[in-house]
Amino acid sequence: MALIAIIDDDPDILDSSSIVLKSQGHNIVTADNPHDGYKIVVEQKPDLIILDVMMDEPDDGFYLAQKFRKEGIKTPILMYTSVSKATGMEYDKSEMVPVEDFVEKPISPSELINKVNNLLKAKEVK
């Protein structure tokens, strides 16, 4: 059982992702903008953050991830986005994007569960 924060400006994505992860027994907190997302992470210290790239601005998610890392918040981040290589944007896992995993929307329930479990397991090992 883990506490997972989902930060995404699409309320429908927040809903369906929450249901999938709740079905695995996790507790979920959500935020639909970077500002509230920062708040829930700082206040509730989740075990994992699921973070959307494009919110108010096209690169909100990146800035938020960088902000967490700068402030020493090492919570694993699963970043997801609906833009990708195919649509002309390319991201690398690097200092620019200090996240543990990166997936492209849409993501199937089983894939989401797998990714989340892997990240949580890796965190425990640490």
Partner 1 sequence: MDEKSKILIVDDENGLRLGTERLLEEEGYYVESAPNGNEGIRLGKSKEFDVAIIDLKMPDVDGLTVLKEIKSVHPNTVCFIATAFASYETAIESTRLGAFGYIPKPFSPEEIIYQIEQGINQRKLILESERLKKEREENLLELANEKSRLNAIIKSINDGILVINKNAELVYYNYAALKFLDLAEIELGSKILNILPEKVVKTVNKLFYSETFHLKSYSQQIELKPNNQLIVEFSTTPIPNSDGSLAGVVLIISNITEYKKIELLKSQFVSMVAHELKAPLAAVQGYLNIMIDKSIQLSPEKQEDYLKRSLTRLKGLTDLVNDLLDISRIELNTKQREIEQIDIREIIENSFQFFELDIKKKNISIETHLDENIPAINADYNEITRVVTNLLSNAIKYNNTNGKIEIELYKSHNYLILKISDTGIGLKPEEKTKLFNEFYRAKNEMTHGISGTGLGLSIVKIIVDSYHGKIEVESEFGKGTTFIINLPINIK
Footprint of partner 1 (CB under 8 A): 10, 12-13, 15-17, 19-20, 23, 33, 54, 56, 58, 82-83, 86-89, 105-106, 108-109
Closer CB to partner 1, residue 70 or residue 85? 85
Let me know how long the chain is. Answer: 126
Closest listed residue to residue 51, CA positions, set 19, 86, 10, 21: 10
Closer CB to partner 1, residue 20 or residue 40? 20
Distance in angstroms (rounded) separating the CA atoms of residues 88 and 8: 21
Spatial CB neighbours of 36, under 8 Å, sequence gap ≥ 6 = 7
Residue 22 identity:
K
Closer CB to partner 1, residue 27 or residue 75? 27
Closer CB to partner 1, residue 39 or residue 74? 39
Q: Least Å distance between CB 115 and partner 1?
A: 14
Q: Least Å distance between CB 8 and partner 1?
A: 10
Closest listed residue to residue 41, CA positions, set 79, 26, 50, 102: 50
Distance in angstroms (rounded) separating the CA atoms of residues 38 and 34: 6
Q: Least Å distance between CB 45 and partner 1?
A: 26
Q: Least Å distance between CB 51 and partner 1?
A: 15
